[in-house]
């Protein structure tokens, strides 16, 4: 099955209906502000959900007082409430605190400057509240090449060609799950090959995670040689099924649109079962593990981190280090011998 998030339902329609009307009005104004500065729909939805949790906490633990009256010790209590009573991770708590800070900044930068009544004496009490230690709550899944080849071969045996194509695209492009569904069939034609046939390029820009309504738009790359067999199998299957769509993974009930993250979550359950079958222990696949594999695969093949950075369209080499799961000790033999230091072969993307 796919990776599960520890989550207990904190909010409900009944609880939200009981929230202080002033706090609900403040939330509504803040979300309208975010929309006016072109934050994406996904970002606004995330802020809305997090603020609902905050307002329910104020309802239940702070006598439903006005948001602007919440004290620092009460924000500290929020952290304990989220972690100890509702099983949220420290990272989740940090995100909710960031939303509180953003709302606080909106009050000081916009409402106070406009002399809105009721906000004159507000001071952001969230500031200075120490964050909980950001410890991981899930065991990290590190995919090996053998793991990936096993999953792909089993998917082909099962004639699940669409799922095999998606899995291959994930590990050989390193894109996020929703980004993978934005790929079009035309991106994998011969005239979209670059670097002497090593890579498929989308040429046109694909929406990825980022600020603004459009997010960040970039060309995306896929390692051509290892991906193409699974693309070809899926295209043959599409022909047999009479699927005609510009999208590589179209919705079955609307071929003019592509699948969404729900399909990826369902497929992740199948991939997890196959990984567990291969490893002989409970193994969990999530699309970000494929992103880690893509970076590690290139790094282990000797592709310089500066090239991987450009492949992934990251702004910093630090991101490569975060996603590279290579055990550095395993590569010592490439650089050190009994005679001292030697130079390792540096490869290009055409070698992959």
Q: CATH number, domain at 231?
A: 1.10.443.10
Residues 280 and 216 in one domain: yes
Cα separation, 275 vs 149, in Å, equals 10
Please say which residue of 62, 92, 111 terminates a domain: 111
For tokens 């193409």, what's the residue? Answer: 228
- At 331 the pLDDT is 59
Tell me, yes or no, whether 281 lies in a domain: yes
Question: Would the pTM count as exceeding 0.85?
Answer: no
Residues 174 and 80 in one domain: no
Tell me what pLDDT residue 187 has.
Answer: 95
d(CA 281, CA 141): 12
In this structure, is residue 237 part of a structural domain?
A: yes
The b/e string for 260-282 (b: 16+ C-beta within 10 A; e otherwise) is: eeebbeebbebbbebbeebeeee
Q: Kindly state whether residue 347 falls inside one of the protein's structural domains.
A: no
For residue 3, the model assigns a pLDDT of 44
| CA 336 from centroid of its chain's CA atoms | 37
Both 36 and 182 in one domain: the answer is: no
**Segments of the chain scoring below 50 in pLDDT:** 1-8, 211-213
Q: What per-residue confidence (pLDDT) applies to 297?
A: 94
3-state SS, 137-151, equals: CCCCCCCCHHHHHHH
Strands 193-194 and 199-201: antiparallel
Q: What is the pLDDT of residues 95-143, one digit of tens each?
A: 999 999 999 999 999 999 888 888 999 999 998 898 887 665 556 788 9
Same domain, 36 and 150: no
Q: Are residues 156 and 301 in the same domain?
A: yes
**How many structural domains compose the chain?**
2
Helix, strand, coil in percent for the chain, rounding step 5: 55, 5, 40
What integer pLDDT is reported at residue 322 of this predicted model? 87
Q: State the alpha helices, DSSP H only, in 5-160.
A: 13-17, 21-36, 41-61, 72-80, 90-106, 145-157
**Per residue in 242-264, pLDDT tens?**
999 999 999 999 999 999 878 88
Instruction: Say yes or no: 202 and 300 in one domain.
Output: yes
- What b/e readout covers 220-241, taking b as 16+ CB neighbours within 10 angstroms? bbbbbebbbebbebbeebbeee
Range(s) of the domain holding residue 151: 145-334
User: Would you say residue 173 lies in a domain?
Assistant: yes
């Amino acid at each position: 099955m796919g990776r599960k998030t520890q989550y207990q339902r904190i909010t409900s329609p009944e609880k939200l209906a009981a929230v202080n009307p002033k706090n609900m009005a403040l939330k509504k104004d803040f979300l309208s502000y975010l929309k006016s500065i072109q934050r994406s729909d996904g970002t606004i939805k995330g802020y809305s959900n997090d603020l609902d949790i905050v307002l329910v906490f104020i309802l239940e633990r702070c006598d439903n007082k006005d948001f602007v009256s919440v004290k620092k010790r009460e924000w500290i209590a929020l952290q304990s409430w989220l972690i100890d009573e509702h099983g949220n991770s420290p990272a989740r708590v940090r995100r909710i605190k960031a939303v509180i800070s953003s709302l606080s900044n909106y009050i000081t930068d916009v409402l106070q400057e406009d002399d809105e009544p009721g906000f004159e004496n507000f001071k952001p009490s969230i500031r200075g509240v120490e964050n909980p230690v950001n410890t991981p709550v899930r065991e990290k899944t590190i995919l090996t090449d053998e793991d990936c080849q096993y999953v792909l071969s089993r998917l082909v045996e099962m004639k699940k060609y669409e799922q095999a194509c998606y899995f291959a695209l994930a590990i050989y492009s390193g894109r996020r799950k929703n980004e993978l569904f934005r790929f079009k069939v035309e991106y994998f034609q011969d005239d979209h090959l670059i670097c002497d046939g090593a890579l498929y390029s989308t040429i046109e820009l694909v929406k990825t995670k980022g600020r603004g309504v459009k997010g960040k738009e970039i060309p995306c790359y896929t390692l051509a040689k290892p991906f193409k067999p699974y693309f070809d199998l899926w295209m043959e299957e599409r022909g047999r099924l009479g699927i005609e769509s510009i999208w590589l993974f179209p919705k079955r009930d609307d071929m003019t649109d592509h699948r969404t993250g729900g399909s990826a979550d369902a497929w992740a359950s199948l991939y997890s079962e196959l990984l567990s079958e291969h490893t002989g222990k409970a193994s969990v696949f999530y699309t970000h593990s494929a992103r880690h594999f893509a970076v590690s695969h290139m790094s282990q093949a000797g592709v310089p981190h500066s090239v991987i950075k450009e492949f992934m369209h990251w702004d910093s080499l630090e991101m490569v280090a975060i996603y590279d799961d290579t055990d550095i000790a395993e590569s010592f033999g490439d650089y050190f011998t009994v005679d001292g230091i030697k130079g390792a072969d540096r490869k290009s993307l055409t070698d992959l």
